[in-house]
Amino acid sequence: MAIEDLMGEGTVLPITRWGTPVMHEQTQPVTAFDDDLRTLVADMFTTMRAAQGVGLAATQVGRGLSLFVYLCPDADDVVHYGAICNPTVTTPTGKERHLDSSDEGCLSFPGGYERLSRPDRATCTGVDPWGEPVTVEGTGLLARCLQHETDHLEGTVFGDRLSARAYRKLAEQVDAVAHLYPDDWPVSPKRRTADS
């Protein structure tokens, strides 16, 4: 079985929102690389696709496990995908470190985007859903995704990295469109506005 086999039809799960305790706590390492884990991975891929995201951490479906999935382009628009358990991210230091200031959003705080500077390259190491070692080199949006999702597994949401002023702007955006996102979104689809 390969990762592509887990990217088919899983079950769409509700996305957990910021403020829920699991979103702000350190996750537990994955220790059982079994069918239950792979079912969760399949469900996470399906949920991410339904929400039109590029990455999804287990905390975002209410599970306190050190696991995320991704389907995301890099700086050259090459799409990468996979599932990483127990990830560690490293970014360049010194003269090799270059920051990219871009809009960032989060499926667990839907409808809001705010600029956040992150290193434009990242290396993520961990293991796949079968317990085999994996390393992903990310540039561009993929680098941002690897950092964002690993943050989730450490109990950090990207709003924690914003200034108080930027966080207020982000929260105002989210509040303005909150009525479009049902509590169980994306199980129930995003509501349409009158002009869409």
Q: Which of 4, 137, 149, 154 is an active site residue?
A: 149
- Other CB atoms within 10 A of residue 46 CB: 21
Query: Does the active-site annotation cover 154?
Result: no
Reference 29, options 69, 71, 84, 82; nearest CA is 84
Looking at the annotation, which residues are catalytic? Answer: 149
